[in-house]
Amino acid sequence: MLENTFKKVQAASRKLGLVEVEKINRILLDLAEAAEIHVDTILLENKKDLDRMPESDPKYDRLKLTETRIKDIAKDLRNVAALPSPLGISLEQKAMQNGLTIQKITVPLGVVGIIYEARPNVTFDVFSLCLKSGNACILKGGSDAEFSNTRIVEVIQSVLEKHHIDSNVITLLPSDRSATTELLNAVGFVDIIIPRGSQGLINYVRDNAKVPVIETGAGIVHTYFDEAGDLSKGIDIVFNSKTRRVSVCNALDCLIVHRKRISDLPELVKKLASQKVKLFADAAAYEVLKQTYPAELLEPASDEHFGIEFLDYKMSIRTVDTLENALDHIARYSSKHSEAIVSEDNFTTELFMKSVDAAAVYANASTAFTDGAQFGLGAEIGISTQKLHARGPMALREMTSYKWLIRGQGTVRQ
């Protein structure tokens, strides 16, 4: 039973809210240095995890840490330290006729539970954002990253102890399924749960949690190449959206092409062949591509190839006759994460951006930018695809709630 563990985290959370911002920043800066100092031991544990996973697994790239990635993590930690505190911000203040002064200020969420899969970098990201926003965090990583996560949390807790901060402000749960069940049912101890990972993970958490859930992560991403699309822009956007990092949630899954531009499709996807991207094309697109795209990388699409987050070097193609058809396809299959249009027609572009229901909607830009750092928010806890509390990249401000402070002079209600 983990109830005693949850109680310790809750107690640590209450104390964390009293720590000065300057001390929080020093901890983050020291942690950045510690990550670089302990890079060899972190990579050694990461290799133990990697050795248990075939390189062909789409999650392999997410799981893998390198010296460069550790340096980038350290840079992100320093960036978070440099950001202003999201706490104690006055959102609203007014003096009432009855003599009360009412103020609305930002406060921590409290205890945040994070359930995530094979992404050990998330351990650093979550901790930095939770610490800076005054939240304690309970981490439930996947068994795929067990060695990596354990070592990272050891490094984090050693820095906390150096600064005389209760190390229970970050707690890593056992990797077994029973720990997940207990976390999902930790009513009264955990304030919010955020799942990061596949659609299957998110669905499981949403369907089984008694603690409130913020859905993040799953991205079924489309880019619509319009009748008025610029081919040069389209080539670069499609290639970048699909191949920059195929294992992340903002990677392109489905290219939608206006039928009047079907003759440009071979050029639009030509560069993808260099990265061995397999295409699942509908009948019209297949007929055009079978003359130019490598046969071993081209298959006719079936219904199962749409509405899927590939997280791999794979992409589907849908041909449409109108913008309305494109919007209907996106409405049917989108996970409301990131969607894009390539068009030089302002009316079409604005109609697309107003009509599409997603956390991030792009015009003539790659969906690879859906990222807290790219939005100028520092690191992120995840990309929220729902509409309550937060939507899009969840960074420091999104890791807060608010409360009302009411001051009187012996004031009573008549």
Which residue is listed with tokens 């060695």? 147
Residues of the chain under the 70 pLDDT cut: 217
pLDDT digits (tens, 9 = 90+) for 243-296: 998 888 899 999 999 999 999 999 999 999 999 999 999 999 999 999 999 999
Report yes or no on 264 lying in a domain: yes
CA 223/CA 265 separation, integer angstroms: 13
Cα Rg of the chain (Å, integer): 24
Report yes or no on 136 lying in a domain: yes
CA 16/CA 28 separation, integer angstroms: 14
Do 53 and 197 belong to one domain? yes
Do 24 and 152 belong to one domain? yes
Do 50 and 175 belong to one domain? yes
Do 23 and 46 belong to one domain? yes
What 8-state DSSP symbol labels residue 216?
B
pLDDT digits (tens, 9 = 90+) for 13-55: 999 988 999 999 999 999 999 999 999 999 999 999 999 999 9
Report yes or no on 36 lying in a domain: yes
- Assess contact for 181 and 211: CB atoms under 8 A: no
Report yes or no on 376 lying in a domain: no
Do 172 and 98 belong to one domain? yes
Q: What pLDDT does residue 217 have?
A: 67
Report yes or no on 414 lying in a domain: no
Do 147 and 270 belong to one domain? no
Which residue is listed with tokens 């990131």? 338
Residues whose CB falls within 8 Å of the CB of residue 217, separated by 6 or more in sequence, listed in order: 195, 196, 197, 198, 201, 202, 249, 382, 383, 385
- Assess contact for 229 and 263: CB atoms under 8 A: no
Q: What pLDDT does residue 350 have?
A: 97
- Assess contact for 70 and 39: CB atoms under 8 A: yes
Count Cα atoms within 13 angstroms, Cβ side, for 407: 6
Domain of residue 262, CATH code = 3.40.309.10
Report yes or no on 232 lying in a domain: yes
Do 191 and 256 belong to one domain? no
Q: What pLDDT does residue 371 have?
A: 86
Domain count, the chain: 2
Domain of residue 109, CATH code = 3.40.605.10
Do 208 and 356 belong to one domain? no
Q: How many CB atoms lie within 10 A of CB 73?
A: 25
> For residue 122, what are its two tokens?
């998330």
CA 111/CA 190 separation, integer angstroms: 5
Report yes or no on 375 lying in a domain: no
Do 150 and 239 belong to one domain? no
Report yes or no on 147 lying in a domain: yes
Range of the domain at 209: 3-216+381-407
Do 66 and 154 belong to one domain? yes
Do 361 and 236 belong to one domain? yes
- H-type helices in 83-176, by residue range? 121-132, 146-162
Do 160 and 108 belong to one domain? yes
